[in-house]
Structure 1
Amino acid sequence: MNYELLCTKVVNIVKLTGNFIRKEALQFDADKIEYKGLNDMVSYVDKTAEEKLVKNLDKLIPDAGFLTEEKTINRTGKSFTWIIDPLDGTTNFIHGIPTYAVSVALYQDGEAVLGVVYELNRGEMFYAYKGGGAFLNKKEIRVSSNPDLKSSLLATGFPYYEFDELPQYMKLLTEVMQKTHGLRRIGSAATDLIYVACGRFEAYFEFNIQAWDIAAGCFIVQQAGGEVLDFAGGADFLEKRQVIATNRKVTTELLEAVRRYF
């Protein structure tokens, strides 16, 4: 398969979906939101955007499976699986906060081969494919070269349900805040990851996170020279729903901090 050509087609599909979301943002009615769970909101924009993505991606690989946030399709593929978040940062979108993204990853036989994340408000299209590098608006990107935590800016996210592990997480955040240039909580895991990939953050970490939030971004980080791990230092970040993504240089320090509390 020509992954570069496929990636170009996916970028175009994601861009069309992003145009729809931008248009809806100008006239969005917050009264139309629904709740999937505690603090877990969804809107007609999420659902319609996902339907558009599924319809167009299905044409590229007709027998591929789909793992999607809004569950507009339920299909298992023999070899290929699309992992989709049509609007990562829904809470930001609903409240008019300008950080949210479309995230699409493709897995082949359990291995990531393509990732696209489109941060809509800055018009930044990040993408990567197997055998190539990582790119932002057609320019190749690399992770930061900062060598340690004391010279680093980090990103994280907060859980919005299942708060059992929150006490030790707060202790971890307290330690990290004192050892770095700072800690940011943007509200879009996909955006956090692509910012690691292009060197704006040295690292990002979060627990209780879903595969569709991070699948594309994690692959882009890896293709940009970064490293992605679970909290135990393994590679099961999608299955364990916990992730550490770094520029490689700060991995040891950050992983040691995480292990003190998890």
Structure 2
Amino acid sequence: MQGSANLNVMIKAARAAGRSLVKDFREVENLQVSSKGAGDFVTKADISAEEIIREALMEARPTYGWLAEESDPIEGADPTRRWIVDPLDGTTNFLHGLPHWAVSIALEHKGEIVSAVVFDPAKGELFWAEKGAGAWMNDQRIRVSGRTKMIESLYATGLPFGGKSDLPDTLKDLARILPACSGVRRWGAASLDLAFVAAGRFDGYWERRLKPWDIAAGLLLVKEAGGFVEPLVAGRSIVDDGEIICANEALFERFAKVIRAE
């Protein structure tokens, strides 16, 4: 596997965190039937994985900044670079014993994602990309799908839960897109949704109200796999605003028109 020194550090950190999470994941099924439940255990697993990643990345690049789900941000001595990390994307899946979750690590340079790793330990799939070097899954080059017909295309999204205010917008999205395509999937891990678009498994993806660590790595994977990635509202920052839409080149305009109700 060829890549920059930074990418190699990222991959090593993701694999180390993945090994820790796999060990904890094996305990979840037993905890599900206990009176205490698994919630506290999974929170500890999440924090432990982040600590593993943080130690590896900050030791290798101590001047870089840091932005992650479970800890306070760090303004690095080098203000142009920062790590963006989700140590466990798909926490609810993990909590329920569903083997669909990932470790997501991105490197941002001057506001642009330049290196990305999304590791799915349960399936043994490591997705990675660097700006200008393409997107890969393990040692194989990946590309977005070649589908051209909306009615044959398969999309992914997230569904609001727990009273989130974007439910009405999402229901309107679904009402428009479902009659026009072959299906929509909600698998509960944004980083893997984007990785699957990059690998041609999904033809497109959209979602609102995400955090930077949910999508930073995945958006570079899609771009480097030949996909189109835009904010839902033109002119906004995908990473900062957490709203994204992407698809292959042939489908993007039609897909975006449906979702944006243009």
**TM-score normalised by structure 2 residue count:** 0.91
1:147 paired residue number: 148
1:26 maps to 26
Q: Specify the code of the residue in structure 1 equivalent to 2:18.
A: G
> What is the root-mean-square deviation of aligned Cα atoms in Å?
1.9
Measured after TM superposition, the shift of residue 23 of structure 1 is 0.8
Task: Name the residue aligned to 1:38.
Answer: none
Tell me the residue number matched to 2:70: 70
SS at match of 1:132: coil
Is the CA contact (8 Å cut-off) linking 1:32 and 1:44 kept in structure 2? no
Deviations 1:55-75 (A, max 9, x none): 00112211111110011x431
- Contact preservation (8 Å) 2:42, 2:94: no
Aligned CA distance change for structure 1 residues 3 and 80 (closer, same or farther; 3 Å): farther
Which one-letter code corresponds to 1:159 in the other structure? P
Partner residue, 1:203: 204
Instruction: Give SS of 1:122's match.
Output: coil
Q: Match of 1:58?
A: 58
- For 1:126, the equivalent position in structure 2 comes to 127
CA distance in 2: counterparts of 1:219 and 1:8, whole angstroms: 17
Which runs of at least 4 in structure 1 moved beyond 3 Å after TM superposition? none
1:244 aligns with 245
* Matched pairs, number: 253
- Aligned residue for 2:184, secondary structure, equals strand
Is 1:89 equivalent to 2:90 in the alignment?
A: yes
TM-score, structure 1 normalization: 0.91
Structure 2, unmatched stretches of 5+, are none
Determine the structure 2 residue equivalent to 1:37: none
Asked if residue 259 in structure 1 is aligned to residue 250 in structure 2, the reply is: no
Once residues 60 and 131 of structure 1 are traced to their aligned partners in structure 2, the CA distance between those partners, rounded to angstroms, is: 23
Distance change >3 Å, CA 143–CA 149, structure 1 → 2: same
Aligned to 1:220: 221
1:42 to partner: Cα distance: 5.9
What amino acid is the match of 2:9? K
Determine if contact 2:215/2:242 at 8 Å carries over to the other structure. no
Q: State the alpha-carbon separation in 2 of the partners of residues 174 and 32 from structure 1.
A: 35
Per-residue CA deviation, residues 191-246 of structure 1 (Å, 9 max, x unaligned), is: 10000001001101110111101100011111111111111244621122111021
Q: How far did residue 3 of structure 1 move?
A: 5.9
Counterpart secondary structure, 2:188: coil
CA distance in 2, matches of 1:22, 1:159: 27
Kindly tell me: are residues 205 and 169 of structure 1, through their superposed partners in 2, closer, same or farther at Cα, counting changes over 3 Å?
Answer: same
Alignment pair present for 1:135 and 2:136: yes
Q: Indicate the percent of aligned positions where both proteins have the same amino acid.
A: 36
